[in-house]
Structure 1
Amino acid sequence: MKAVEPVSVNVELIDERIASVVFRNPSRRHALSAGLLHALDARLAALAEQRVPVVMLGSGVGEDVWSAGHDLGELAEDRDPLAWGKPLEQALRRVRSYPGVVIAMVSGTVWGGAVDLAMSCDLIVADASARFTMTPANIGLPYTTSGLLRLFNNLPIHVLKDMFFCARPLDAAQAERFGVINRLVEREALQASALEMARGIAAKAPLAIQAVKEQLRILEDLQPLPVDAMERIAELRRIACESADMQEGLDAFAQRRAPRFEGR
């Protein structure tokens, strides 16, 4: 019997200015389990302490799935894995606030919360197998305002609605056209292209890049909302997370059947 490869987040220092971070959860299609996300958060925090200016992030080259998104097996105990203090949001904040450049190296399909992870990175290098699909509505999970804003800042509104309402994949060519992917390359050139980009960035002044990244993060987050709007959004999310539809979505996923949603 083949041994199951454990969940891991491994760091390799390519040189003093570039690190490669590879997350793996092979038995779950590299799903973002709480354990994996905590480990990713810790590895990035350690690299920030070491002042490594450039990080390349991925799950490997030549995989069919870059990441299946949030580990749905954990939703039985946590009906809202996207809330502010949860592991996924903590890891996304770590990526966005990392005091250097984080390059997502994407090979294979990207699902749900993993799309948010890739887009939270500063740059994306991908091959033609990359597909970005948002599937929360398939299980009745409402997405967060912060997550929607990250995608809203990167995509035309009707493309974003198509992704969320229809769960239609954004393929690599479309993603490049909309500016989501910075470099679209052949699969065999993916790692070399990401490393070439990383070396170019690493040769620049790190404090200047850090200052620009933080300014851009603050500007991107300047989306003031009235208190009553935030309360209304929170209530809509609470209703959806506690609904029978969400339980039906989780049951249907576990039973590998089409869900029967009733809007309650």
Structure 2
Amino acid sequence: MQTVLFDVVEDYIGLLTLNRPQAANAFSVELLKDLNDCLNQIEKHDHIRVLIIKGSGEKAFCAGADLKEREKMSDDKVVETVKRIKETIHRIESLPIPVIASINGAAFGGGLELALACDIRIASTQALLGLTETSLGIIPGAGGTQRLARLIGPGKAKYLIFTARRLTAEEAYKYGIIERIADRNKLVETVLAEASIIAENGPIGVQQAKEAIQSGLNTDLKSGLEIEEQCYKKTIPTQDRIEGIKAFKEKRKPHYKGK
């Protein structure tokens, strides 16, 4: 069985599905390989404007590392596998297009670290989230200590990581970890609707906005404003910008081509 599925829906939206429902979509060595193979396709795809990542089944988005598989690994192999997870998650974060995590159920450990690398997180009312590694005697090793602290602040991140607390969707929303909550039966519909709104906007503009935000967060305000200026300049000579102005004048919906 293919552990990761990829398809293009509604023309411009990519749908990537972690497909190990019997193992809570946990990161096995095989899943990591299949996920990287799918990312190779996505990185070469010219027409995708938004990517959705979801887990198959109804119980889990991704439960993190496959602990049964890890139990049989040597210490060196464990370190190597965690590094592979971190590198894979970084690839997802580095995609130029917006990525939405559709969190249908449990997102623990590496599963939440994956979601934190996405640009937007939408969770069902049944979702449970947490960086629970300290309860296993380890720490988040695929970017969780860094991304969570940047997202919600160091104090709250330390509290959640030190306590290994599991949050409901409502609690995660109040912490600022997720951007929206959807009814369990309407999660797919809600995520697709949000992805469609993004896909209708100018793709070059959206990508440059992502670049400005991502790169700007890693520097001081003055440098961030310079990055924003450079990203803005990249939108000026595009056909999309002319189309946007023309559509506004003609009071119609713009038809962007990503050029």
The two structures have a TM-score, normalised by structure 2, of: 0.76
Corresponding position: 1:64 with 2:59:
yes
Question: 1:7–1:26: 8 Å Cα contact kept in structure 2?
Answer: no
> Paired residue for 2:9, among 5, 11, 14?
14
1:96-135 map, 5 Å? 96-135=93-132
- Where does residue 155 of structure 1 map in the other structure? 152
Structure 1 distance, partners of 2:85, 2:2, is: 16
- Counterpart CA distance in 2 for 1:172 and 1:41 is 28
Q: Which residue of 2 aligns with 1:79?
A: 78
Q: Is the 8 A contact 2:125 2:181 kept in 1?
A: yes
Alpha-carbon distance between aligned partners in 2 of 1:212 and 1:82, rounded to the nearest angstrom: 33
Corresponding residue for 1:137? 134
- Shift of the alpha carbon at 1:219? 2.5
More helix by share: 2
**SS at 2:151's partner residue?**
coil
Deviation at 1:103, TM superposition (A): 0.6
Inter-partner Cα distance in structure 2 for 1:189 and 1:42: 30
| Cα distance in structure 1, aligned partners of 2:166 and 2:38 | 30
**SS of equivalent residue, structure 2 residue 139:** coil
- Matched-pair contact (CA < 8 Å) for 1:82–1:143: no
Q: 2:174 aligns with which of 174, 177, 182?
A: 177
Structure-1 separation of matches of 2:170 and 2:154: 18
Rounded to whole Å, the distance in 2 between the matches of 1:222 and 1:160 is: 20
Q: Distance in 1 between matches of 2:113 and 2:2?
A: 20
Percent of aligned pairs sharing the same letter = 26
Equivalent-residue separation in structure 2 for 1:36 and 1:144 (angstroms):
18
8 Å CA contact retained: 2:43, 2:95: yes
Partners of 2:135 and 2:49 lie apart in 1 by 38
Task: Indicate if the aligned counterparts of 2:122 and 2:179 stay in contact, CA closer than 8 A.
Answer: yes
How many Å separate the matches in 1 of 2:214 and 2:36? 18
The residue aligned with 2:190 is 193
SS for the counterpart of 1:80 is helix
Which stretch shows the higher mean deviation, 214-223 or 127-136? 214-223
Which residues of structure 1 form unaligned runs of 5+?
A: 1-5, 224-264
Aligned residues: 215
Q: In the alignment, residue 60 of structure 2 is paired with which amino acid? A: V
Equivalent-residue separation in structure 1 for 2:141 and 2:122 (angstroms) = 26
Cα gap change, 1:105 to 1:146, in 2 (>3 Å) = closer
Q: 1:106·1:124 contact (CA, 8 Å) conserved in 2? A: yes
Deviations 1:16-38 (A, max 9, x none): 31111111112322111122122
Task: Report if the CA contact (8 A) 2:7-2:16 is conserved.
Answer: yes
Q: How big is the shift at 1:41?
A: 2.2
The answer to whether residue 33 in structure 2 is matched with residue 38 in structure 1 is yes
Partner SS, residue 21 of structure 1: strand
Aligned-residue offset at 1:170: 2.0
CA spacing shift, 1:222–1:131, aligned 2, 3 Å: farther
1:145 to partner: Cα distance: 8.7
Whole-angstrom distance in 2 between the partners of 1:82 and 1:216: 30
Distance 1:145 1:193 in 2: 28
Please report the RMSD computed on the Cα atoms of aligned residues, expressed in angstroms.
Answer: 2.1
Give the secondary structure class of the aligned counterpart of 2:78.
Answer: coil
Cα distance in 2 between the residues matched to 1:21 and 1:43: 8
Q: Distance in 1 between matches of 2:119 and 2:34?
A: 20
Whether 1:25 and 2:24 are equivalent positions in the alignment is no
Residues 159-168 or 188-197, more deviating: 159-168
